[in-house]
C-alpha cells in the first residue's frame, strides 16, 4: 500500500517551508516512490506567510493509517500564529492521533514548537531555526535542543531548521522511506547541487565573515568561494582587486576578521565535506576540494576545532 504523507498547514504557514518539501515528495512519486500526498488544515482554506489563500484543503484526519508521515511547515510570526485557535487544534490533534510507534512526524522551522506543545519532544533530541532555539528550549526542559543543525532525527520525530532546510529534510526522508536512487533523481530534478546532511551547520561557512561592507574584500571572497579548490595565491588575489599583497592582507583581516589563508582553508574544508556527503571517499573528496590529501584535510579540521 502507498505510504500516506500528510502536510498539515498551521495558520500563517511559511510558503517555502511547505512548497519545497511538497514538491520534493511529488517529484519522488514521478520516479517511483509510493507516496500518497494529502494537504490538511483546520479549515478548508487558509493563508500563507505571503497572504496568498490556499483552498481545497482536507480536514485533519480522525485516524492515521500505519506508516503515515506527517510534515508540518513553520509559520510566520510564530509567537502570534501559534496562539491562534487553529494552531491549538493542531496541537490537540497531534496529541490524539500521532503515535510514534506507528507514524513518523517531521517539523520544519518553528513547527518544532507545535510538537513541543504537544509533548512530543520530551526527552528527545531536536532542533529548529537558529533564532528560535531559546523558545524551543523553554517549551520543554526535558528536550535536548541541538543548535546549528540542519535537521535532527530522534526515533519517529524529525525536526529541522528553517526554509530551505525543509528540502534537505524531505530528501533525507525520501532516501529512507523510498530509496537513495530516487532521492538522487529528485535532487537532480530540483537542481539541488549538494544535499546537506543532519550533521551540517545551519550557518553556512559560505556566509561566514561576510558581515562587512568593503567591496575589495567581498570580491576576493567571491573569487575564493567560486573555486575554493583553486590554488589562489595572495598576489593573484591582490591583482584582481588592484591592491598590494600587504594591503590586501591587512584589509581582509580588518574587515573579515580572519586571514585570507584561513578563509580559503575553511571553504576548502566545507567543499570537501560536501563531496564526502555526495558519496566520494575521504581521499577523493579531499583532492576534489583542493587539498593535497585526506590527511591535510583532517589537519585543517583538527586545527579549526582547537581554535
Helix axes 234-241, 215-226, angle to 10 degrees: 130
pLDDT at site 194: 54
How many residues belong to the chain? 307
Q: Is 201 exposed, middle or buried (0-12, 13-18, 19+ CB in 10 A)?
A: middle
Q: Name 58's bridge partners.
A: 40
pLDDT at site 202: 47
Alpha helix segments (H runs only) across 98-212: 111-117, 133-139, 165-177, 180-189
Q: What is the pTM of this model?
A: 0.70
Cell digits of residue 136: 524551543
10-residue mean pLDDT profile of the chain (307 residues): values are 95 96 97 98 95 95 96 96 97 96 97 96 94 91 88 95 87 91 87 60 66 86 91 95 95 93 93 85 94 93 72
The answer to whether residues 161 and 167 touch, using CB atoms and an 8 Å cutoff, is no
For residue 287, how many other CB atoms are within 10 A of its CB?
19
pLDDT at site 154: 96
For residue 197, how many other CB atoms are within 10 A of its CB?
16
Amino acid at each position: 500500500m502507498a505510504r500516506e504523507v500528510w502536510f498539515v498547514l498551521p495558520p500563517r504557514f511559511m510558503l517555502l517551508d511547505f512548497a519545497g518539501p511538497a514538491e520534493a515528495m511529488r517529484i519522488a512519486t514521478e520516479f517511483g516512490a509510493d507516496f500518497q500526498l494529502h494537504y490538511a488544515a483546520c479549515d478548508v482554506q487558509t493563508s500563507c506567510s505571503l497572504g496568498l489563500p490556499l483552498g481545497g484543503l482536507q480536514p485533519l484526519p480522525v485516524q492515521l493509517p500505519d506508516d503515515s508521515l506527517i510534515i508540518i511547515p513553520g509559520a510566520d510570526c510564530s509567537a502570534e500564529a501559534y496562539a491562534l485557535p487553529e494552531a491549538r487544534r493542531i496541537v490537540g490533534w497531534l496529541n490524539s492521533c500521532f503515535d510514534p510507534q506507528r507514524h513518523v512526524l517531521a517539523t520544519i522551522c518553528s513547527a518544532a514548537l507545535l510538537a513541543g506543545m504537544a509533548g512530543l519532544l520530551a526527552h528527545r533530541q531536536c532542533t529548529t531555526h537558529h533564532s528560535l532555539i531559546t523558545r524551543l528550549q523553554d517549551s520543554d526542559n526535558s528536550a535536548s535542543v541541538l543548535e546549528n543543525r540542519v535537521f535532527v532525527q530522534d526515533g519517529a520525530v524529525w525536526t529541522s531548521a528553517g526554509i530551505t532546510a525543509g528540502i534537505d529534510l524531505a530528501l533525507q526522508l525520501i532516501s529512507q522511506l523510498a530509496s537513495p536512487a530516487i532521492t538522487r533523481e529528485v535532487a537532480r530534478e530540483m537542481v539541488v547541487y549538494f544535499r546537506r546532511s543532519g550533521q551540517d551547520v545551519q550557518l553556512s561557512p559560505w556566509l561566514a565573515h561576510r558581515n562587512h561592507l568593503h567591496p575589495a574584500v567581498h570580491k576576493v571572497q567571491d573569487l575564493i568561494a567560486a573555486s575554493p579548490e583553486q590554488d589562489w595565491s595572495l598576489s593573484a588575489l591582490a591583482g584582481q582587486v588592484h591592491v598590494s599583497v600587504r594591503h590586501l592582507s591587512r584589509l581582509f583581516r580588518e574587515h573579515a576578521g580572519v586571514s585570507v589563508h584561513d578563509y580559503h582553508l575553511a571553504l576548502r574544508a566545507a567543499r570537501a565535506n560536501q563531496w564526502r556527503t555526495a558519496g566520494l571517499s575521504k581521499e577523493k573528496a579531499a583532492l576534489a576540494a583542493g587539498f593535497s590529501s585526506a590527511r591535510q584535510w583532517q589537519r585543517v579540521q583538527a586545527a579549526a576545532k582547537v581554535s
